[in-house]
A = this chain, B = another copy of it.
Amino acid sequence: VLKLSGKWISIEEPKIIKGYTEVIKKLVTEGIRPVIVVGGGSVARNYINAARLFNVPESHLDILGIEASRLNALLLASILQRYAYPRIPRDLNEFLNIWYSSDLVVICGGFQPGQSTTAVAALVAESIGCNLIINATRVEGVYDKDPRKHSDAKMFKKITLTELEEILSASSSFKAGGYEVIDPLAMNIMKRSKIYMRVVYGGNPENILKVVLEDADIGTLIIPE
């Protein structure tokens, strides 16, 4: 399962999209059938911000964000053409139907209000018995402090979920940044089903091939303990 930040599958980043289509085709050629989960990115933020001006309830804001992430997923599926299933599943049930009735790459956006697309990646990985999520984010990995504010922030090579929870709850000001990478539902699922997550910088699509094909030790490995 490959989680792609909405920042990278976005109408503003055609070159990065091109990189990811090549990465996905390469994986398929190698006999690997990835699931891709795409975030909502700036389009999601724009719609949510527009709706917030009108006091739209939070769950409907989430639904706008989900539909925007599904639009990004559809863009990627349209570009991949015969490599990808042309319909974006709305929930885990639809995902499983598609997974078992075709042999194509499946691309997901969000599923339900109240949960991130990282949680979608965890739900999907668990349901098909996959034990590694690659999370291609805007940052290089997991840091002890917010790297955008602290020049001495240190990136972890490895960290357990328990350690990560402690860091996140200790530093409330860091929470927002931390949750860009992972949220409690994702952590809960990873813990109970022993799923690893490798957090890598998504701006370089080649990172995915390095992790999958060369088992490269880049970014941060989150250990489900």
Residues on A lying within 8 angstroms of B by beta carbon are: 11, 14, 17-18, 21, 43, 46-47, 49-51, 53-54, 56-61, 63-64, 67-68, 70-71, 74-75, 78-79, 81, 85-87, 90-93, 96-98, 100-102, 104, 111-115, 119, 122-123, 126-127, 129, 169, 184-185, 188-189, 192-193
Taking a contact as CB atoms closer than 8 A, the residue among B43, B57, B74, B193 that contacts A63 in the complex is B74
Q: Looking at the complex, which one of B17, B21, B113 makes contact with A123 (CB distance below 8 Å)?
A: B113
Cα of A90 to Cα of B87 in the assembled complex, Å: 13
Q: With a CB–CB cut-off of 8 A, which chain B residues contact A122?
A: 114
* Alpha-carbon distance A63/B96, docked complex (angstroms): 12
Measured CB to CB, the closest approach of chain B to A4, in angstroms, equals 15
Which B residues touch A79, using CB under 8 A? Answer: 51, 54, 56
With A14-B53, A21-B54, A127-B57 in contact, is A71–B74 under 8 Å at CB?
Answer: no
- Can you sample 22 A-B contacts with CB below 8 Å? A11-B49, A11-B50, A14-B50, A43-B43, A47-B71, A47-B75, A50-B75, A57-B129, A58-B126, A58-B189, A59-B126, A59-B127, A59-B189, A60-B78, A63-B78, A64-B78, A67-B70, A81-B129, A98-B101, A112-B112, A114-B122, A184-B188
Contact A189 B114 (CB under 8 A): yes
> Are B58 and A193 touching (Cβ within 8 A)?
yes
Give the Cβ gap from A48 to chain B, nearest Cβ, in Å: 10
Are the C-beta atoms of B114 and A185 separated by less than 8 Å?
A: yes
List, in ascending order, chain B residues with CB within 8 A of A100's CB. 85-86, 102, 104
Chain B, residue nearest A60 (CB): B78
Docked Cα-Cα span, A115 to B50, in Å, equals 28
CA distance A122 to B119 in the complex (A): 18
Closest 4 CB pairs of A and B: A101-B101, A11-B50, A60-B78, A59-B126
In the bound assembly, the distance between CA atoms of A67 and B75 in angstroms comes to 10
Roughly how many angstroms separate A159 CA and B115 CA in the complex, as a whole number? 25
